Structure 1
């Protein structure tokens, strides 16, 4: 893949054109903040640029970029700054009541708003597999590589995530998304 590009800059430009929107939405599912998600997009592509020589084609390019993004988001969430931002946003959320934030509106308009809202209510480990499956159409193996997990772990998380999502739909009304569909892998 690297041999297709004469410079690292061309490689980075290609990555950005292909994956920047997807990486933003992925980041947003982790941080739930528009500005932070945008900042993390930049950091992900800086890491891609710096690690240009480490991509050896063992996985597909999308999987490689998603892995970098997921790790970047997890590192961010562990930071003291992130804990401060998350606490501040929780306080703001309580102060504003049940009104939707601009980030929720932006992200929600991407796909099925109802589905997006319900997925965002799930714990992170279930939210990430549903997001990668439904919004990016990754297969079980690709998700396992992106998340650094075993295939069977992904399968069990998908099953549990679908059960939780179905439960949310039944409690809140509506038809469960993906009911009767089988995951490919």
Structure 2
């Protein structure tokens, strides 16, 4: 059993390594980056409080994301806000060279439309897209974070991608790249 100082040092190390990802994840879930700061802090306070419960059956990052998810859901429930808003699925800007202001505007319009389409998805679909496609968690890690089976993650992701493509197509937008 670690002393409080050792636990504090370990949690500070985790904070240094993972706070940016946790903050972005919560911010995407809430679409409120000011509140995301508070909930990120709360996530790490809870990691200190429940430190002994971490069994190293999963990665520290996965465990922290589970805490962040539960903290965010608790916040939404307490505030009667059941809107879980996903993030922008960004295009790979490293491989696309943007030469003109017009191309930049077109990209912003595409991202804006994608964001609007994601907002129209039901919460479970948004959440699985955030974790798998935006945050890059594996199916196993996503299942641990959401408390689902791996097969439920896979099937929900499949349905969410199809639904997102339908949403995109409603406005005449055809996304060339498949998400799966």
Q: TM-score, normalised by structure 1?
A: 0.73
- Give structure 2 stretches of 5+ with no counterpart: 92-110
SS of 1:25 mapped into structure 2: helix
- Secondary structure at the counterpart of residue 7 of structure 1: helix
How many residues align structurally? Answer: 157
Task: Name the SS of the counterpart of 2:76 in structure 1.
Answer: helix
Give the Cα–Cα distance (whole angstroms) in 1 for the partners of residues 14 and 115 of structure 2: 25
Distance 1:8 1:178 in 2: 45
Task: Name the counterpart of 1:45.
Answer: 44
The answer for unaligned runs of 5 or more in structure 1 is: 88-103
How well do the aligned residues superpose, as a CA RMSD in angstroms? 2.8
Which residue in 2 is equivalent to 1:150? Answer: 149
Question: Structure 1 residue 178: deviation in Å?
Answer: 4.5
Q: Which residue of 2 aligns with 1:7?
A: 6
* CA shift in 2, pair 1:177/1:78, >3 Å: farther
Structure 2 CA distance, aligned partners of 1:34 and 1:23?
11
1:23-52 Cα offsets, whole Å, 9 max, x none, are 122212332222222111111010011112
Q: Could you tell me the TM-score, scaled by structure 2's length? A: 0.75
After superposition, the Cα gap between the structure-2 partners of 1:118 and 1:25, relative to the gap in structure 1 and judged at 3 Å, is farther
1:136 aligned partner: 135
Deviation at 1:123, TM superposition (A): 1.5
4+ residue runs over 4 A deviation: none
From the superposition, tell whether residues 111 and 15 of structure 1 become closer, same or farther in structure 2 (CA, over 3 Å).
Answer: farther
What's the CA shift string for 1:74-133, capped at 9, x where partnerless?
A: 111111xx13xx59xxxxxxxxxxxxxxxx9xx65x945344443233221111110111
User: What is the aligned partner in structure 1 of residue 123 from structure 2?
Assistant: 124
